[in-house]
């Protein structure tokens, strides 16, 4: 399975959640959307353990199965389609999560997240 990891699941991993560790260890590859990376680093800057958290993140990113996913022009097409769909459904989601969803759709990944609002996008494969 090719997993895109959401911010909350990375936090779960760092806290040693055994279920999360098991699921991530079985993944064929792990993909961290650029937005997740930005959210994590923003959180680090607000905390008191910025250096420790950043070192742990760097170790995670250095793993051969981990890839950062950046947007392309194609991502913007997915974003706009998902945006319209959510608006028509009356189920908007936070902007950062919309970018994550667009990247997941574009790269045909399974999203690993605790956020239930991703379920409003039936075309996404979401593991909660």
Q: Which residues contact 88 (CB under 8 A, 6 or more apart)?
A: none
Residue 69 and residue 107 in contact, taking contact as beta carbons nearer than 8 Å: yes
Q: What is the pLDDT of residue 38?
A: 98
Q: What is the pLDDT of residue 24?
A: 97
pTM exceeds cut of 0.85: yes
CB atoms within 10 A of CB 111: 25
Q: What is the pLDDT of residue 76?
A: 98
Q: What is the pLDDT of residue 73?
A: 98
Q: What is the pLDDT of residue 83?
A: 98
Q: What is the pLDDT of residue 2?
A: 98
Domain ranges of the chain: 2-127
Relative to beta strand 66-69, strand 2-5 is: unpaired
Q: What is the pLDDT of residue 6?
A: 98
Domain 2-127, CATH homologous superfamily name and number? 5'-nuclease (3.40.50.1010)
- In DSSP notation, 6-51 reads PHHHHHHHHTT-HHHHHHHHH-SEEEEEHHHHHHHHHHHHHSS-HH
CA distance 9 to 13: 6
Q: What is the pLDDT of residue 78?
A: 98
Residue 115 and residue 6 in contact, taking contact as beta carbons nearer than 8 Å: yes
Residue 123 and residue 109 in contact, taking contact as beta carbons nearer than 8 Å: no
pLDDT tens, per residue, the chain with 128 residues: 999 999 999 999 999 999 999 999 999 999 999 999 999 999 999 999 999 999 999 999 999 999 999 999 999 999 999 999 999 999 999 999 999 999 999 999 999 999 999 999 999 999 98
| Cα distances (Å, whole numbers) of residue 125 to 3, 110, 128 | 10, 5, 10
Q: What is the pLDDT of residue 22?
A: 97
């Amino acid at each position: 399975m090719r997993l895109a990891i959401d911010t909350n699941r990375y936090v779960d991993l760092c806290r040693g959640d055994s279920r999360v560790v098991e699921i991530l260890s079985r993944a064929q590859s792990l993909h961290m959307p650029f937005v997740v990376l930005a959210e994590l680093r923003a959180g680090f800057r607000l905390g008191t353990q910025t250096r420790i958290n950043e070192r742990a993140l760097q170790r995670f990113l250095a793993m051969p199965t981990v890839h950062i996913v950046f947007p392309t022009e194609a991502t913007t097409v997915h974003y706009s389609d998902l945006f319209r769909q959510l608006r028509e459904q009356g189920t908007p989601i936070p902007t950062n999560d919309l970018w994550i969803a667009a990247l997941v759709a574009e790269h045909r990944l399974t999203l690993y997240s605790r956020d239930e609002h991703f379920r409003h996008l039936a075309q996404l494969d979401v593991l909660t």
